[in-house]
């Protein structure tokens, strides 16, 4: 018998009933564990004074969520990790999305925002059969490696305002944040904006160097991303005109045409909800593009 209980203090308050029970596979779709299919997940809400959570003197209430699932057989460490970190994050973010869609509320004793994986790793209390296994988290990650010399130099330049922080990088950063918080539609849209912004800036700079005036450039700026991506290579407004000989560009450019632009259109125009993997792929394509077109 395995009973996993995950307790998370939220940095905000949700006005909800004391508890509810939901089918596992209805709320955990990103990292579905076959052994938990058909099981019930119990979610319990309780109130805490803010000072009990963050040591502040603020007397507003916050919410604590307890998520519990039981199965008659032992679970592997990998499955416990998946449920405690990935599944519980997805459950919490589904609760938040449903709450906001119902109330349109974004603040209540703190900004109500989706939680990222790192929050679960750092703040979740994880119990298996009543035993605290919290000391396993967070696990070692390559993200803890120090910056390379080149990246450190770049960081210092941005910090000292010697170079203006590129807006396309900020959009890509927000896309990664949205991806981590389970907001996959937003991640796709922001990644596509990052690509379109950098592509447009690059081509406009080339056109200005070639003597084009602002009035002649304006129609290009106002084109959709799809139209910009389909300008023939011989046209000076085409990105291919300048980068077709760069190693790896052709394949990456095709990925931008689809799936990135196609998925962006599906989300923006058809209300399509991308999967976790689709969002990851699009953010990675955008990341590669911004590294290539620096």
How would residue 197 be classed by pLDDT, with cut points 50, 70 and 90? very high
- The confidence score (pLDDT) of residue 57 equals 55
What does the alpha-carbon distance between residue 84 and residue 80 come to, in Å, rounded to a whole number? 6
C-alpha triplet 93, 97, 102: angle, nearest 5°:
150
- Mean pLDDT is lowest, of 55-64, 119-128, 229-238, for 55-64
- Looking at the DSSP bridge assignments, the partners of residue 125 are 7
Q: Residue 198 pLDDT > 80, yes or no?
A: yes
Residue 162 in tokens: 């010697």
Q: What is the pLDDT of residues 102-112, one digit of tens each?
A: 988 888 777 88
- What is the pTM for the complete model shown? 0.78
- The confidence score (pLDDT) of residue 132 equals 83
Q: State the CB neighbour count (10 A cutoff) for residue 103.
A: 12
- The confidence score (pLDDT) of residue 206 equals 95
- The confidence score (pLDDT) of residue 90 equals 93
Q: Residue 210 pLDDT > 90, yes or no?
A: yes
Q: What is the pLDDT of residues 51-86, one digit of tens each?
A: 555 555 555 678 899 999 999 998 888 999 899 999
- The confidence score (pLDDT) of residue 223 equals 95
Q: Are 127 and 2 in contact (CB under 8 A)?
A: no
- The confidence score (pLDDT) of residue 267 equals 96
Q: What is the pLDDT of residues 25-52, one digit of tens each?
A: 999 988 899 999 999 999 999 887 655 5
- The confidence score (pLDDT) of residue 109 equals 73
What does the alpha-carbon distance between residue 12 and residue 92 come to, in Å, rounded to a whole number? 12
User: CA-CA distances (angstroms) from residue 130 to 3, 64, 70, 135, 272?
Assistant: 8, 18, 12, 14, 41
- Give per-residue burial for 248-265: e unless 16+ CB within 10 Å, then b: ebeebbebbeebbbebbb
How would residue 91 be classed by pLDDT, with cut points 50, 70 and 90? very high
How would residue 150 be classed by pLDDT, with cut points 50, 70 and 90? confident
- The confidence score (pLDDT) of residue 118 equals 84
Residue whose entry in the numeric block shows the structure tokens 């803890």: 144
Pairing mode, if any, of strands 19-23 and 131-132? unpaired
Closest CA to 116 of 139, 162, 137, 85: 85
- The confidence score (pLDDT) of residue 251 equals 95
């Amino acid at each position: 018998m395995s009973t996993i209980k995950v307790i998370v203090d939220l940095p905000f308050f949700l006005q909800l009933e004391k508890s509810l029970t939901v089918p596992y596979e209805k709320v955990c779709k990103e990292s579905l564990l076959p052994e938990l299919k058909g099981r019930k997940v119990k979610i319990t809400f309780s109130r805490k004074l803010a000072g009990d959570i963050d040591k502040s003197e603020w007397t507003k209430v916050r919410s604590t969520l307890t998520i519990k699932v039981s199965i008659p057989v032992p679970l592997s460490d990998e499955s416990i990790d998946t449920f405690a970190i990935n599944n519980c994050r997805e459950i919490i973010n589904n609760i938040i999305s449903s709450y906001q869609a119902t109330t349109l509320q974004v603040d209540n004793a703190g900004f109500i925002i989706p939680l990222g994986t790192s929050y679960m790793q750092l703040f979740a209390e994880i119990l298996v059969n009543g035993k605290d296994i919290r000391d396993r988290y967070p696990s070692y990650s390559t993200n803890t490696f120090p910056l390379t010399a080149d990246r450190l130099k770049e960081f210092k330049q941005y910090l000292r305002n010697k170079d203006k922080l590129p807006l396309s990088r900020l959009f890509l950063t927000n896309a990664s944040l949205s991806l981590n918080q389970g907001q996959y539609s937003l991640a796709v849209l922001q990644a596509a904006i990052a690509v379109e912004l950098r592509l447009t800036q690059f081509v406009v700079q080339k056109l200005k160097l070639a003597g084009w005036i602002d009035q002649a450039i304006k129609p290009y700026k106002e084109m959709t991303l799809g139209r910009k991506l389909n300008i023939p290579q011989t046209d000076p407004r085409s990105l291919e005109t300048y980068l077709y000989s760069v190693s790896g560009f052709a394949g990456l450019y095709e990925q931008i045409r689809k799936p990135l632009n196609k998925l962006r259109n599906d989300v923006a125009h058809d209300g399509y909800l991308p999967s976790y993997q689709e969002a990851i792929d699009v953010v990675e394509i955008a990341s590669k593009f911004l590294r290539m077109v620096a």
